[in-house]
Amino acid sequence: MMRGCSMILIGAACLAFSACETSDDPAQPGDLNVTGSWSGSLTVTTAADSFVGPAVLSITQTGTSVSGAMDFGDDAPLSVAGSLSGTVLTITITPAQATSDDCHLYPVTLVFSASEATLTVTSGSGMVCEGDGVGGHTALDAVTGASGTLSRT
Protein backbone atom coordinates (compact mmCIF):
# COMPACT_ATOMS: atom_id res chain seq x y z
CA MET A 1 0.00 0.00 0.00
CA MET A 2 2.78 2.49 0.81
CA ARG A 3 4.49 1.64 -2.45
CA GLY A 4 1.46 2.65 -4.53
CA CYS A 5 1.04 5.83 -2.52
CA SER A 6 4.63 6.93 -3.09
CA MET A 7 4.24 6.36 -6.85
CA ILE A 8 1.16 8.60 -6.84
CA LEU A 9 3.06 11.32 -4.97
CA ILE A 10 5.98 11.10 -7.39
CA GLY A 11 3.56 11.33 -10.33
CA ALA A 12 1.82 14.35 -8.79
CA ALA A 13 5.16 16.04 -8.19
CA CYS A 14 6.14 15.48 -11.84
CA LEU A 15 2.86 16.96 -13.03
CA ALA A 16 3.23 19.96 -10.75
CA PHE A 17 6.80 20.56 -11.97
CA SER A 18 5.96 20.37 -15.67
CA ALA A 19 2.96 22.67 -15.21
CA CYS A 20 5.26 25.36 -13.76
CA GLU A 21 7.64 25.54 -16.71
CA THR A 22 6.60 28.72 -18.55
CA SER A 23 9.69 29.89 -20.44
CA ASP A 24 7.89 29.96 -23.82
CA ASP A 25 4.31 30.29 -22.58
CA PRO A 26 2.27 33.48 -23.00
CA ALA A 27 2.22 35.86 -20.04
CA GLN A 28 0.41 34.32 -17.11
CA PRO A 29 -2.24 36.16 -15.04
CA GLY A 30 -0.42 38.35 -12.52
CA ASP A 31 2.74 38.57 -14.67
CA LEU A 32 3.85 41.98 -15.91
CA ASN A 33 2.68 42.59 -19.48
CA VAL A 34 4.40 45.43 -21.34
CA THR A 35 2.36 45.11 -24.57
CA GLY A 36 1.23 48.51 -25.74
CA SER A 37 2.37 52.01 -26.56
CA TRP A 38 4.77 53.94 -24.34
CA SER A 39 5.94 57.55 -24.72
CA GLY A 40 8.25 60.00 -22.99
CA SER A 41 11.75 61.39 -23.30
CA LEU A 42 15.04 59.50 -23.54
CA THR A 43 18.68 60.50 -23.42
CA VAL A 44 21.39 58.33 -24.96
CA THR A 45 24.89 59.49 -24.03
CA THR A 46 28.19 58.86 -25.82
CA ALA A 47 31.66 60.22 -25.08
CA ALA A 48 31.12 62.79 -27.84
CA ASP A 49 27.48 63.83 -27.42
CA SER A 50 24.08 63.32 -25.83
CA PHE A 51 21.06 62.48 -27.95
CA VAL A 52 17.90 63.75 -26.25
CA GLY A 53 14.47 63.46 -27.70
CA PRO A 54 10.91 62.35 -27.50
CA ALA A 55 10.43 58.61 -27.79
CA VAL A 56 7.47 56.43 -28.68
CA LEU A 57 7.81 52.69 -28.13
CA SER A 58 5.20 50.23 -29.40
CA ILE A 59 5.77 46.65 -28.29
CA THR A 60 4.05 43.32 -28.25
CA GLN A 61 4.92 40.74 -25.60
CA THR A 62 4.66 37.01 -26.21
CA GLY A 63 5.76 35.08 -23.14
CA THR A 64 9.06 36.67 -22.15
CA SER A 65 9.87 37.94 -25.68
CA VAL A 66 9.05 41.44 -26.92
CA SER A 67 9.14 42.97 -30.39
CA GLY A 68 7.95 46.16 -32.00
CA ALA A 69 9.02 49.58 -33.21
CA MET A 70 10.36 52.80 -31.78
CA ASP A 71 10.56 56.44 -32.86
CA PHE A 72 13.32 58.41 -31.12
CA GLY A 73 14.02 62.03 -31.98
CA ASP A 74 14.64 62.20 -35.72
CA ASP A 75 15.26 58.45 -36.00
CA ALA A 76 12.30 56.47 -37.26
CA PRO A 77 11.47 53.72 -37.71
CA LEU A 78 13.64 51.67 -35.40
CA SER A 79 12.91 47.98 -34.92
CA VAL A 80 12.87 46.59 -31.39
CA ALA A 81 13.40 43.06 -30.07
CA GLY A 82 14.14 41.87 -26.58
CA SER A 83 12.94 40.15 -23.44
CA LEU A 84 11.26 40.70 -20.10
CA SER A 85 12.63 38.96 -17.02
CA GLY A 86 10.61 39.84 -13.92
CA THR A 87 10.59 43.64 -14.00
CA VAL A 88 13.70 43.99 -16.17
CA LEU A 89 12.95 44.80 -19.81
CA THR A 90 15.91 44.59 -22.19
CA ILE A 91 15.46 45.78 -25.77
CA THR A 92 17.80 45.96 -28.71
CA ILE A 93 17.02 48.85 -31.05
CA THR A 94 18.07 48.53 -34.67
CA PRO A 95 17.77 51.25 -37.32
CA ALA A 96 15.91 50.30 -40.48
CA GLN A 97 18.20 49.18 -43.26
CA ALA A 98 18.65 52.04 -45.71
CA THR A 99 20.56 52.36 -48.96
CA SER A 100 21.98 55.66 -47.68
CA ASP A 101 23.92 54.20 -44.72
CA ASP A 102 24.95 51.03 -42.88
CA CYS A 103 23.64 52.01 -39.44
CA HIS A 104 21.41 48.91 -39.25
CA LEU A 105 24.62 47.04 -38.41
CA TYR A 106 25.01 48.99 -35.14
CA PRO A 107 22.17 48.34 -32.65
CA VAL A 108 21.77 49.99 -29.25
CA THR A 109 20.56 48.06 -26.20
CA LEU A 110 18.52 49.72 -23.46
CA VAL A 111 17.63 48.14 -20.13
CA PHE A 112 14.51 49.36 -18.31
CA SER A 113 13.02 48.84 -14.90
CA ALA A 114 9.41 48.05 -15.87
CA SER A 115 6.10 48.48 -14.09
CA GLU A 116 2.50 48.50 -15.30
CA ALA A 117 2.67 52.30 -15.73
CA THR A 118 6.29 53.21 -16.55
CA LEU A 119 9.52 52.03 -18.16
CA THR A 120 12.58 53.69 -16.59
CA VAL A 121 15.95 53.34 -18.34
CA THR A 122 18.66 51.91 -16.08
CA SER A 123 21.45 51.45 -18.63
CA GLY A 124 22.41 51.60 -22.28
CA SER A 125 25.08 50.05 -24.48
CA GLY A 126 26.02 49.64 -28.13
CA MET A 127 27.06 52.06 -30.85
CA VAL A 128 25.41 55.24 -32.08
CA CYS A 129 25.86 55.49 -35.83
CA GLU A 130 25.70 58.59 -37.98
CA GLY A 131 25.08 57.69 -41.61
CA ASP A 132 27.02 59.29 -44.44
CA GLY A 133 24.22 59.28 -47.02
CA VAL A 134 26.11 57.07 -49.47
CA GLY A 135 25.96 53.61 -47.91
CA GLY A 136 28.35 53.89 -44.97
CA HIS A 137 28.75 56.02 -41.86
CA THR A 138 30.64 59.13 -40.80
CA ALA A 139 30.84 58.35 -37.09
CA LEU A 140 30.42 55.54 -34.59
CA ASP A 141 30.26 56.48 -30.92
CA ALA A 142 30.07 53.98 -28.06
CA VAL A 143 27.05 54.45 -25.80
CA THR A 144 28.23 55.34 -22.29
CA GLY A 145 24.83 55.71 -20.66
CA ALA A 146 21.13 56.26 -21.06
CA SER A 147 18.29 57.70 -19.01
CA GLY A 148 14.65 58.62 -19.23
CA THR A 149 11.16 57.36 -18.52
CA LEU A 150 8.39 56.22 -20.81
CA SER A 151 4.78 56.10 -19.64
CA ARG A 152 2.06 53.79 -20.91
CA THR A 153 -0.28 55.66 -23.25
The domain 25-152 is classified under which CATH number: 3.40.50, 1.10.3470, 2.40.128, 3.40.720? 2.40.128
In the chain, % of residues over pLDDT 90: 61
pTM: 0.78
pLDDT computed for residue 75 by the predictor: 74
Write the CA distances from 69 to 17, 38, 85, 114, 139, integer angstroms: 36, 11, 20, 17, 24
pLDDT over 70 at 138, yes or no: yes
Domain boundaries, the chain: 25-152
Each residue's pLDDT tens digit, 79-99:
999 999 999 999 999 988 777
Each residue's pLDDT tens digit, 12-63:
333 343 344 444 455 455 589 999 999 999 999 998 899 999 999 999 999 9
> Hey, which residues does 61 pair with through a beta bridge?
66
Q: What are phi and psi of 8, to 5 degrees?
A: -65, -45
